[in-house]
Amino acid sequence: MSIFISIIIFIAILTALVFIHEMGHYLTAKRNKVKVEEFGLGLPPRIWGFKKNDTLWSINWIPLGGFCKMAGEEDPSIPDSLAGKSVKARLIVLSAGSIAMLLFPLILLPFGYMLPLPREVESPGVIISAVINGSPAEQAGIQADDILVSIDGKEIEYFTNASDEIKKATDTNLGQPVTLFLTRETENGSIQYNASVIPLDNPPD
């Protein structure tokens, strides 16, 4: 990805986050009857804007921020000013941007998981840490770091599951081949293979 595209993506994400933050201020200001003089994305000088409901909505040249300019932020004598509202109202309006940023992920994540996108999931199986010399596993070509996925078609998800299935295979199929399904990581990618293993009555220590 080129640096230019990376910068564009960064600006787009930053602009979206700034919009959510400033919209928190805007909505609570309007709810508390505080006049919003200008809602701007980016920092001045202004590129373009339009006025609606006594608020100037603007897009500005410097794409590294935004603002929600309210009437009388420090002067209570101005009509519909922020400073002229109660302490509770001012606290709500001033903290609304941060609260919006906290709530936004809680709203966004459920929708993200609802999208029909391919998702990587943890592969089943357990990693074989070592193969004992002279064991049936070595004779079947199994190597350390291979991943044991299933035993006779029964999926292996954790170590005790593998241990139970191996013991069951030894008890019921002594002297008979047991089919193990494994995966192995190679320089050319992952490969899958079956190994036919014959359980021993007296395996190596």
Catalytically annotated residues: 22
Whether residue 19 contacts residue 38, with contact meaning beta carbons closer than 8 Å, is answered with no
Q: Which residues lie below 8 Å from residue 179, measured CB to CB, with a gap of 6+?
A: 151, 152, 153, 194, 195, 196, 197
Q: What is the DSSP letter of 123?
A: P
Length of the chain in terms of residues written? 205
- Which residues partner with 40 through β-bridges? 58, 67
φ/ψ (deg, to 5) at 70: -105, 150
Structure tokens at 80: 């519909």
Rg (CA), the chain: 32
